[in-house]
A and B are shown apart, each in its own frame.
Chain A
């Protein structure tokens, strides 16, 4: 089957935090293949989808999405901060996330 992926892969690392307090409004995302904050600049503004399955069907689908956007870079190694429409639940730490290629600027 030909490639159909139109998103970049990312992982949720956790919430924005200091040593002992965290801010669940902002999630940290590690983007695959991005190692510097300069490269991460490309992804600013891009929309992110956390896709998950649930038992109860809503509007004919058991698949649900939490949408968000990449807001800024974090540190120097390509990690990125993102805000979601509804904050990500804590169980998503370590989970995969889809970083869409839109809104595009190229």
Chain B
């Protein structure tokens, strides 16, 4: 028999007529049945943790406008511009998309090398709507339809996100085009070659 999902609303106790031999009276059926099995000795419950994680503090080398190298993930090796640090401690980063194909994205600062190249984006205001919730995974577990999964997975990027990307990138691409070679620099990929050792390199 399929197990019904637990509802958050407490079910009321049922009162039922007694039929048969003891006909006439009523009996109460409790809403939650007592467990059939329980351990012989009381099982010690683990203590609930009173610790909560704090957002990582930003490294001194990373400021808004710093060009940063991504070390892992889909865009590893790409040079990318840091916009700001989000509430969760993750960095908000953009290619810009036109320059190297990296969209607005969150990245953990542990997976990033900060370079000494900085772009002046003080004039750029980053909308408060770009927060962790904006990047969070959408769709609850109820949406998971195994059979139809394949078709729905590659849903096109919503128009609003494409427009957001363009709006944010506009000012940054302007700042990039002012500095010679910066566009080509951001378009290039980082890689170690023979004789290069990270502990001896200045980024």
Which A residues have a C-beta under 8 Å from some C-beta of B? 2-8, 32-34, 39-40, 42-43, 100-106
Contacts and interface: CB of A to CB of B under 8 A. Distances in A.
B61 A106 contact: yes
B191 A5 contact: yes
B110 A8 contact: no
B192 A5 contact: yes
Interface in B185-203: 189-193, 195, 197-200, 203
B77 interface: yes
Interface of B: 59, 61, 71-72, 76-77, 109-114, 189-193, 195, 197-200, 203
Nearest to A78: B199
B185 to A, nearest CB: 14
Nearest to A41: B199
Nearest to B191: A3
Nearest to A33: B197
Contacts of B61: 106
Contact of A6 (B59, B191, B203): B191
B113 A104 contact: yes
11 contacts: A2-B191, A4-B189, A5-B193, A6-B190, A6-B191, A8-B198, A34-B197, A39-B199, A100-B71, A105-B59, A106-B113
